[in-house]
Amino acid sequence: MSNFFRQEVDAAVDALLLQQVILYPTDTVWGLGCDAEVPPAVERLYKLKQRPPEKSCIVLVADEVMFARYAKVVPPHLSKLLAAQSKPTTYVVPASRHLAPNLLAADGTIGLRVVLDDEFCHKVVRRLGHGLVSTSANLSGEPTPGLYAEVNPALVRGADYVVNWRQDETSRTTPSRVVRVLDDGEMEVLRD
């Protein structure tokens, strides 16, 4: 791991611990993020994105233990689901009381995604020790930026910290798969 990589992880975590909003490369697309347990940070993120507060965001977690902290209902066989997934997958589940209330959907659910294949996001979430809000780095209604070059300059200026990792990538990324965990444990695909 390079010094530059470590410095970027440290700088992102420092900003998050100060309850700030970061602009960063997620395990899917470029995103805006903050500590998922801090309501004022979530409010600031929504304001920056110009997103209606009734639209919830995804939360990145480091592992199954962190997933269980934020979910009232953990999907049965979560380990097997994670091992079998072919792309990053967000699970919509009833949220626990540990998340900022202004982060939840109107029905009390939250989308949780275990970061498996992105070293940067995994290290940031692990070091933060809390879930990391992940919402696409676009103004509400604009296209989702798969590359840093596609991020609206207003968001670059408005974020408290802009991560300098993967800004020069040219291979476009796509949003995660989203599935809702139903009461009987079955999955309903919301976005593939």
CATH code at position 156 = 3.90.870.10
Burial string for 14-48 (b: 16+ CB within 10 Å, else e) reads ebbeebbbbbbbbbbbbbbbbbbbbeebbebbbeb
| Structural domain span for residue 76 | 3-191
pLDDT of residue 34: 98
pLDDT tens by residue, 28-86: 999 999 999 999 999 999 999 998 877 889 999 999 999 999 999 888 889 999 999 88
pLDDT tens by residue, 126-162: 999 999 999 999 998 899 999 999 999 999 999 999 9
When pLDDT is cut at 50, 70 and 90, the band that residue 181 belongs to is confident
Please say if the pLDDT value at position 184 is more than 80: no
What total number of domains does the chain contain? 1
pLDDT of residue 30: 95
pLDDT of residue 1: 66
Please say if the pLDDT value at position 172 is more than 80: no
Q: Are 185 and 76 in contact (CB under 8 A)?
A: yes
Coil, strand or helix at 6: helix
Please say if the pLDDT value at position 192 is more than 90: no
> Edge-to-edge strand order for the sheet containing 30-33?
161-162, 22-25, 30-33, 132-136, 58-61, 109-114, 89-94, 177-181, 187-191
Mean pLDDT across the stretch 100-122?
94
Percent of the chain's residues with pLDDT above 70: 99
pLDDT of residue 23: 98
